[in-house]
Structure 1
Amino acid sequence: MTMVLLETLRLYNPALFIQRKPIADITLGALKIPKGCAIVIPVPIMHRDKKVWGEDADEFNPLRFQNGVTKTAKVPHALLSFAIGPRSCIGQNFAMLEAKAVMAVILQKFSFTISPNYVHAPVDLFSLKPKFGVPVILRLLDE
């Protein structure tokens, strides 16, 4: 379940951008970034970079996480779903635990499929959301 959640967050991360300001002048490759200059990191673009994630970067493949998050891509900290470093999301462990608990409860009693009426149209407002919602068909499992 962890691998499915991580792959879902990689492809459809709710946060579209991460903004940072360096506290000192830094150099990234040939790029020099002065202290205090705002840097905007486009998470969806980073998460689909074929140089980092491989040729199947646009495909849903939870097995890419089978050896852990840091061994998934060519860069150990390529997954930015909860950011990285000292300003990473303080609630990331709780969010993952909560998502797993909710999914475990739902999957014990129901099967679900996406409605044939579903139209795939992600839209970026404040965060990434399905433009027309996600209609789901729930079926009670036989006991």
Structure 2
Amino acid sequence: MLIKNNRISIDDIIDECKNFYFAGQETTSSLLGWTIFLLATNKEWQEKARKEVAESFGQKVPNADGLSSLKIMNMILDESLRLYPPVPFIKRKVELTLPPKMLIYISPLAVQHDHKIWGEHVHVFKPDRFAEGVVKATNNNPVAFLPFGYGPQTCLGLNFAMIEAKISLSMILQRYMFTTSPTYVH
């Protein structure tokens, strides 16, 4: 953002908001696509989510109060992010032990599929592993769950993306049931 004379113009703010919104479009749509796929192949979780949405909103438009009570939805989204993180790698510049300016690529996919952390059913869709939160799901190693990065460089859009995904998925579940084609091969 270019600041002129120590002032931020309304156009600058609008541009920053647009940037923030559009930057997350691809990753949020990836999250929703994989979540719908996982729910289509796991009907019991699709029905649990639909029931929770119906209890929270009925056929009304989702609201902030109801979104915060969607425990099953949170578990489903976290498990979708674990199995299919929308960002294939996280790049960091190392200035400490390794040579300066060295770039390190961290693969959330590899970490989130480590059977030592996630157990023998690491490749199975099991949203209930998040029933008691990320720390319990990762066997007290929350750094093993990286769909939005971790620490001071965690994605700024984390909360926005999760709210957007919850609203979208709630509205989809209110209106549709989905299944995979009998000829689909994963």
* TM-score of the aligned structures, taking structure 1 as reference length: 0.73
Match of 1:77, SS state, is helix
Tell whether 2:152 aligns with 1:81.
no
Amino acid at match of 1:15: V
Q: Please identify which structure carries the higher strand content.
A: 1
Alignment of 1:25-64 (within 5 A): 25=97, 33-64=98-129
Higher RCO (C-alpha 8 Å, min separation 6)? 2
1:22: Cα distance to partner?
2.2
Give the CA RMSD over aligned residues.
Answer: 1.3
1:69: Cα distance to partner?
1.3
State the structure with more CA Rg. 2
Q: Please identify which structure carries the higher helix content.
A: 2
- Could you list the runs of 5+ residues in structure 1 that have no partner in the other structure? 26-32, 121-143
1:113: Cα distance to partner?
1.1
Partner of 1:19: 91
Q: 2:168 aligns with which of 90, 95, 102?
A: 102
Tell whether 2:162 aligns with 1:92.
no
* TM-score of the aligned structures, taking structure 2 as reference length: 0.57
Partner of 1:28: none
Structure 1 stretches of 4+ moved >4 Å: none
CA distance in 1, matches of 2:159, 2:137: 19
1:24–1:36 Cα contact (<8 Å) kept: no
